[in-house]
Amino acid sequence: MNTNQKPKQRFFDSMRTIRSFFSFYRPHLGLFILDMFCAFLVALIDVLFPYFTRRILYDYIPNEAIQSLIRIVILFGLGLVLRTICQWIVTYFGHFMGVKIEADMRNSIFSHMQTLSFSFFDHNRTGQLMSRITNDLFDITELAHHGPEDLFISFVTLIGAFIVLFQIQWTLALILLISVPIILLFIINRRKHMMRASKTVKQKTASINTEIETSLSGVRTAKAFCSEPYEIEKFRTCSEEYVKGKKSYYHVMAGFMSGTEFMLTLMSLLVISCGSALIMYKRMDLATLITFNMYVASIQTPIRKLTNFTEMFTQGMAGFLRYLEIMQVKPDIVDAPDAVHIENVKGDIVFDDVTFSYESDSPTVLSHINLNIPSGHMLAIVGPSGSGKTTLCQLIPRFYEIDGGRILLDGQDIRKIHLRDLRSSIGIVQQDVFLFAGTVLDNIRYGRMDATPEEVVAAAKLAEIHDDIMTWPEGYNTEVGERGVMLSGGQKQRISSARVFLCNPKVLILDEATSALDTTTERKIQSAFAKLYQGRTTLVIAHRLSTIKNADEIVVIDEKGIHERGTHDELIQQNGIYAQLLASSEE
């Protein structure tokens, strides 16, 4: 029973995949119908051409019917003009439809990725994801256009040709009809092997994209350590794997294409030999054999289309299957059915017996954390590397879901608050500031997309970056470079602060925001941060303990949880871990 169930399940899975693919035609139904109608006219004219040729050979030439010959030539000439127009429509609008479907899929997968949780991006490399959005969908354009069209034209041509052939000479038509399914079965069987090989090529392409993304992002590090030869060799190895994958695919394709051509040539030989025998036995004449030869070409064309369709389907569907793999990933964190909107956030935060681990089978990062951070208070979090300081702060905006306990914002469980409302009320400034390639204005405005230029300038002044910006040749229109490479660390940090000023959150998280800066720059940043703190609930993860002496409460955490808590003076008196860390930092 299981052996029967497996092929049956595969069949239903294939049908679901094809249905999913065809759902993208719905917004472009008008173009699709136009494409199919023109394709039908092209196929109809191709089928009728040998039929009219036979009429000329049988009726008009023997009877010297010049006028009838002229009429049919003019009629068919008009038909060829119509065919040319239809072929232009099929080529132009068909490809345009394919590009629009590809764009729809690309927009869809990018939008879906925006909904996925941090954990998804923790486990998937950027280059691999880029390949899903770009390379995997390149073949979709050809498949979306030529796939339905080639299938439709092929079946219309085959059915039309055999209807005519059976009327002319049923014996030879039957011989041809038997040979066609044999060729089609060969095509279908080889398609499975091509699909596997094509999917391997897609995976190898994704690996190359990953290496490109990683190597180019780290090119400065590679140069600093003189590791260019290592990067080149690593990329060459990846390229060789891609070549092997392509070689395997071409090996399968070569057998497929040559086998198909052999069968098509055999079909012509079959018609000539069987047709000649029928002529010898006075069951067919030479004009009929000529007509059959013309129809053999008409039959071979759709079979070749089906052959090309198989390669196109293989590559396009391999990309589409990889596309579906991403689309079927569900976000770990979504709005609860009973989620509520929040307004006028005060910023009271409570950690109630919170436990968290990144994976179900991985060690616990935070265990039974209890914290109460009143509105407007500043909480500083210190501890050794890997103790869970950043993780603790990332749980507040629900970047990850907790395993146990509750986190409350203004008395409301954050799992019952709409994500957009929750995250828009929280501002985050990190140590590793990410700036998008673009202008200073664009990067500050990222804090609130509808902000006016005047509001951007006001935020920049609060972040104490306005004066710097005005010294640059293009001012706020200055390009910051890839990831802000044209700016110093302090400038990037202050632009990041300006973003936060612009979105004006009630909760502020500073994740070791100044640890990578020199002392002079840090003092300037701290001046901007002092303004940020005012009227906001603030969580500061501190590397330099001298910056958090004025915090309302300081907690020291390690792998076991909260180890110490209190004000700066209280923790100094305890002479515990905090006092030791402070002493070490001042040495």
SS (H, E, C) 418-468: CHHHHHHCEEEEECCCCCCCCEHHHHHHCCCCCCCHHHHHHHHHHCCCHHH
Q: Give the pLDDT confidence score for residue 219 in this predicted structure.
A: 63
What is the total count of domains within the chain?
A: 2
Residue 214 covered by a domain = yes
Considering the domain architecture, whether residues 189 and 53 belong to the same structural domain is answered as yes
Length of the chain measured in residues: 587
> Could you tell me whether strands 349-356 and 404-409 are parallel, antiparallel, or unpaired per DSSP bridges?
antiparallel
How far apart are the C-alpha atoms of 416 and 409, rounded to whole Å? 10
Q: Give the pLDDT confidence score for residue 85 in this predicted structure.
A: 92
Domain limits for position 479: 428-504
What are the tens digits of pLDDT across the range 137-185? Answer: 777 777 887 778 788 888 888 888 788 778 777 887 787 788 777 777 7
Considering the domain architecture, whether residues 441 and 309 belong to the same structural domain is answered as no
Considering the domain architecture, whether residues 65 and 188 belong to the same structural domain is answered as yes
Q: Tell me which of 488, 504, 520 is where a domain ends.
A: 504
Residue 124 Cα to chain centre, angstroms: 12
Q: Sheet holding 426-430: strands in order across?
A: 426-430, 507-511, 537-541, 378-382, 553-558, 561-566
> Could you tell me whether strands 426-430 and 507-511 are parallel, antiparallel, or unpaired per DSSP bridges?
parallel
Under 8 Å between Cβ of 172 and 278: yes
Q: Give the pLDDT confidence score for residue 528 in this predicted structure.
A: 67
Q: Give the pLDDT confidence score for residue 25 in this predicted structure.
A: 86
The residues pairing with 354 across neighbouring beta strands, listed in sequence order, are 369
Q: Give the pLDDT confidence score for residue 82 in this predicted structure.
A: 92
Under 8 Å between Cβ of 348 and 408: yes
Q: Tell me which of 471, 488, 504 is where a domain ends.
A: 504
Considering the domain architecture, whether residues 61 and 172 belong to the same structural domain is answered as yes
Residue 450, class by beta-carbon neighbours within 10 Å (0-12 exposed, 13-18 middle, 19+ buried)?
exposed
Residue 532 covered by a domain = no
Considering the domain architecture, whether residues 67 and 202 belong to the same structural domain is answered as yes
Residue 477 covered by a domain = yes
Q: Which amino acid is at 116?
A: L
How far apart are the C-alpha atoms of 238 and 347, rounded to whole Å? 50
Q: Give the pLDDT confidence score for residue 408 in this predicted structure.
A: 92
How far CA 541 is from CA of 56, 167, 292, 495, 529, in Å, comes to 91, 86, 84, 19, 13
Considering the domain architecture, whether residues 448 and 306 belong to the same structural domain is answered as no
Q: Tell me which of 294, 327, 360 is where a domain ends.
A: 327
Residue 465 covered by a domain = yes
Residue 451 covered by a domain = yes
Q: Give the pLDDT confidence score for residue 245 in this predicted structure.
A: 76
Residue 395 covered by a domain = no
Under 8 Å between Cβ of 210 and 330: no
The residues pairing with 544 across neighbouring beta strands, listed in sequence order, are none
Question: pLDDT tens digits, the chain, 587 residues: what are they?
Answer: 444 446 666 666 677 777 888 888 888 889 889 988 998 888 888 877 777 777 776 677 777 778 877 888 888 889 889 989 998 998 888 888 888 888 888 888 888 888 887 778 777 777 777 777 777 777 777 788 777 878 888 888 888 878 877 877 788 778 778 877 777 777 767 666 666 676 677 677 767 777 766 666 666 556 655 667 777 777 777 777 777 777 777 777 777 777 777 877 777 777 778 878 888 877 877 777 777 777 777 777 777 777 777 777 777 787 788 888 888 888 888 888 888 888 888 889 999 988 888 877 777 788 888 989 898 898 988 887 777 888 888 898 888 888 889 999 988 999 999 988 888 888 888 777 778 778 888 888 887 888 888 888 888 888 778 888 888 888 888 888 777 777 877 788 888 888 888 888 888 888 876 655 566 666 666 776 777 777 888 888 877 676 777 888 888 887 777 888 888 888 888 888 888 877 776 55
Question: Which residue in the block uniquely carries the two structure tokens 């701290």?
Answer: 526
CATH number for position 123: 1.20.1560.10
Q: Which amino acid is at 586?
A: E
Residue 123 covered by a domain = yes
Q: Tell me phi and psi for residue 411, to 5 degrees.
A: 85, 0
How far apart are the C-alpha atoms of 453 and 458, rounded to whole Å? 9
Question: Which residue in the block uniquely carries the two structure tokens 């006016």?
Answer: 452
Question: Which residue in the block uniquely carries the two structure tokens 């990062």?
Answer: 365
Residue 302 covered by a domain = yes
Considering the domain architecture, whether residues 437 and 309 belong to the same structural domain is answered as no
The residues pairing with 108 across neighbouring beta strands, listed in sequence order, are none
Q: At what angle do helices 286-327 and 29-55 cross, to 10 degrees?
A: 170
**pTM score, whole prediction:** 0.69
CATH number for position 463: 3.40.50.300
